[in-house]
Structure 1
Amino acid sequence: MRLNNEDSHTKALVFACTGAVSAAVMAASLLRGMFFAGEIYPFLTVWLALCGLLCAWGEAVSALRNAERRDHVLKIPVENKAALILLGCPLAVFVLYAWAGLCGPVSAQETVDELLRWAFYASFAILAYFCAADRQGARFLAAIWHVTGMAISLSALLAVCAELKLPYAIAYTAAPEVSATGARLAGLLQYPNTFGAVMAVFLLERLFAVAAHVQRAQSQAAEWGAGTKERSGGKGNRGRRKMLGERGNAHRIIERERSGRNGVDGVGMWCGGGEIERGAAGYPVSAGW
């Protein structure tokens, strides 16, 4: 999928899709995770109609770009297998439910409900993927993700700590097998199992983000260390050779001084390219020594 950031029509389409995604996330949080099918019929009706309008808008913009001999607006790369799997799984489940409905389902009402649910999941995934292809759309999706996680988690914590009035924010039970304290947090979703699963997803996403950040920091540190070693490698070798040469010169000076003190008077000593005169006692005459 490729988007032209200079195209105002494409930008407006991306913003409309991100707005639809944010509305879907908000509705899913307020409608208790869309657990009851009777509550989601109005929303799904509006959602599917909105998706139809967005598809028509995208086709119009695509036709406009084709008229100008430019690329299509919607283009999903075939080599991106992970994206194809992500987008294909909800569609595959939707097709399976549709096939079961045509073959005579056990419960026609439940089959229709699941068809609507999976149609919503598939369209939501396609819109989110379309928005993520744009830089600003991806940032907006990240903001929606973080705000939703904080809102759901704070709704459960504030119901306990600040006595926030939410229906079924805390589920009470007398069964010790279910809860040792007799209370389970449910928050805005109003179902402890759903709340726990959603919070686990948010926790895993944050752990993956931290792991990626640590790995990136380690790789940058390793590259910086290798570059520093390469830059200082030549200077270090030259400095080591110079130190060894000076140490050899000092050793020769000491040996010749000892030989001069043992009875060789008035003998000159070579020191680093210069000759130093000695007196009768074997000590150097030059004041610089």
Structure 2
Amino acid sequence: MEEVKSDKKVKWSKSDDRGSLDKIEKLDRATQGMMFSRLLEPALTIVLGLILVVLLLAGCLRRGLFYFTDVYPMVLMASGSALIWLILFMMCFNASKTNGELGISQWLNTLKQLYVALMQYAHLRWMFWPLALAIWFGLHAWIGSVSVQGSLDEMLRWSLLAIFALLTAMLASRANGARWFAYGWQMAGGLLVLSGVLAACGVLPLPYGVMRTADPEISSAGARLGGMLQYPNAYGAVAGMYALERLAAAARAVA
């Protein structure tokens, strides 16, 4: 009888050891997932900030995306960048919740939790307006349109705006994300303004940067500055927007 009791005690001690080892392994996985997510959080902000900076500068270099031939590569670049960032974000979001284990059901659960988390931010809902317009143009092309190609082009343009709005809102909701957007905003504005001034001074050989005309009703000086946008009215509107934004920022700083 004593031998049987001792055997039972040995078995119970082994089972207790296994249970404690399993708990330790689960804790290790959880801590590793938390450390991974903490290390990946700043990297995600940097990647998202660089994506937005590149998109802003590319929009300036591609003549303000006035022509649809310039929109197509931007849509591909923005979609690919958003997809890559979403995968990285889901890896970071999923690491601390699945204890290092990945599966289809866990990924679906992560998508649901991500959707709920996104809807908690009211500013993220603004992206649905350009998305709704993109869907509308797509339906218009599918039902029947006078210009199917024109409807598809507008669908792609508004899809690009929806992707950019989503990335901007996600960046604004992250720590130090507004700084990255401010960097991209200032770099894009500086590129547009300086390129126009240098083209007008003859330093930068920019084709169609300055529109020449002999009609005094169009320009009394005989020339109008178009810059990289190559369209004087659009260039003047964008430059005026940047000037007003800087004046408002200076007023806030003084106040």
| Structure 1 residue 106 corresponds to structure 2 residue 146 | yes
Q: Secondary structure at the match of 2:97?
A: helix
**In 2, Cα distance between the equivalents of 1:208 and 1:85?**
26
**In 1, Cα distance between the equivalents of 2:127 and 2:74?**
22
Tell me the equivalent position of 2:72: 41
**In 2, Cα distance between the equivalents of 1:16 and 1:168?**
34
Task: Let me know the Cα RMSD of the aligned residues.
Answer: 2.6
**In 2, Cα distance between the equivalents of 1:179 and 1:85?**
43
> 4+ residue runs of structure 1 moved beyond 4 angstroms?
71-74
Tell me the equivalent position of 1:10: 41
Tell me the equivalent position of 1:93: 133
5 Å-filtered alignment, 1:32-181, equals 32-67=63-98, 75-76=117-118, 78=120, 80=122, 83-84=123-124, 86-181=126-221
The TM-score, its normalising length taken from structure 2, stands at 0.72
Q: Secondary structure at the match of 1:7?
A: helix
| Structure 1 residue 204 corresponds to structure 2 residue 238 | no
Kept after mapping to 1: 8 A contact 2:63/2:228: yes
| Structure 1 residue 184 corresponds to structure 2 residue 217 | no
Structure 2 residues without counterparts, runs of 5 or longer: 1-34, 100-109
Q: Secondary structure at the match of 1:105?
A: coil
Identical pairs, percent: 33
Tell me the equivalent position of 1:28: 59
Query: Shift of the alpha carbon at 1:78?
Result: 4.4
Larger % of helix: which? 2
Q: Secondary structure at the match of 1:171?
A: strand
> CA distance change for structure 1 residues 84 and 17 in 2, over 3 Å: closer, same or farther?
closer
Kept after mapping to 2: 8 A contact 1:58/1:73: no
**In 2, Cα distance between the equivalents of 1:65 and 1:102?**
43
Q: Secondary structure at the match of 2:247?
A: helix
Kept after mapping to 2: 8 A contact 1:65/1:73: no
**In 1, Cα distance between the equivalents of 2:165 and 2:185?**
14
Q: How many residues are paired up?
A: 208
The TM-score, its normalising length taken from structure 1, stands at 0.64
**In 1, Cα distance between the equivalents of 2:91 and 2:127?**
23
Query: Shift of the alpha carbon at 1:32?
Result: 0.4
Structure 1 residues without counterparts, runs of 5 or longer: 218-289
**In 1, Cα distance between the equivalents of 2:124 and 2:91?**
24
Query: Shift of the alpha carbon at 1:44?
Result: 2.1
- With a CA cutoff of 8 Å and minimum separation of 6, indicate the structure with the bigger relative contact order: 2
Q: Deviations over 1:1-30 (max 9, x none)?
A: xxx9x7222222222111111111111111
Query: Shift of the alpha carbon at 1:61?
Result: 2.3
Q: Secondary structure at the match of 1:135?
A: coil
